[in-house]
Amino acid sequence: MRIGIYAGSFDPVTYGHEDLIERSLSFVDRLVVAVATNVAKQPLFSVEDRIRFIRSAVDHEPRVEVRQFDGLLVDLAREVGATLSVRGLRAVADFEYEFQMALMNRHLNADMETVFMMPRLDLTYVSSSLVREIARFEGNTGDLVNPLVHQALRERFSRA
């Protein structure tokens, strides 16, 4: 059985992330979505919220497990038996950072391979940070994130 990991801070999960989860399932048997607790900056949503948002998006899919993690990706891979790390690539800047990480991870754990995929084209410009920025100024995030997240963003930033 091939187990993959898709790790990130998911603050919050976007349709871009959800698209990548779905695509990954075409070549892994099980996918662990790992929500990092140790993000450098103060996250907008708690790790519990971030996990809940992802679960709501994939609850029809028994092959996906959503969990938090705090540590090195390669250690998590050993713990859950994963041999693939799945990453989305949108831009050259992504590419270089992701390559450095993938090379370092290969150095730390030769048994985990990193594979890269492209999100759906019309989601290439969607990132969690842009979504937060738009929500902050009460722009419409309805077609960037799922309804649960959309609602949570509105509540968080409503000026009333």
Residues contributing to the site for a second copy (CB under 8 A): 2, 23, 26-28, 71-72, 74-75, 83-84, 89-93, 95-97, 99-104, 106-108, 113-118, 121-122, 124-127, 130, 134, 137, 139-140
**Residue 59 CB, nearest approach to a second copy (Å):** 23
Is 17 an annotated catalytic residue?
yes
Cα–Cα distance measured from residue 12 to residue 9, given in angstroms and rounded to the nearest whole number = 8
What the block records as the tokens of 12 is 């919050």
Cα–Cα distance measured from residue 49 to residue 35, given in angstroms and rounded to the nearest whole number = 11
Is 90 an annotated catalytic residue?
yes
**Residue 56 CB, nearest approach to a second copy (Å):** 23
**Residue 154 CB, nearest approach to a second copy (Å):** 15
**Residue 139 CB, nearest approach to a second copy (Å):** 5
Minimum CB distance to a second copy smaller for 28 or for 57? 28
Beta bridge partners of 6: 33
No. of helices (H) and no. of strands (E), the chain: 6, 5
Q: Which of 24, 85, 128, 132 is catalytic?
A: 128
Other C-beta atoms closer than 10 Å to the C-beta of 93 total 8
Other C-beta atoms closer than 10 Å to the C-beta of 92 total 8
Distance of CA 13 to the CA centre of its chain: 6
Q: Which of 26, 41, 60, 107 is catalytic?
A: 41
Q: Which of 17, 52, 87, 150 is catalytic?
A: 17
Is 52 an annotated catalytic residue?
no
Cα–Cα distance measured from residue 50 to residue 35, given in angstroms and rounded to the nearest whole number = 8
Q: Which of 23, 30, 63, 90 is catalytic?
A: 90
Is 60 an annotated catalytic residue?
no
Which residues are known to be catalytic?
Answer: 17, 41, 90, 128
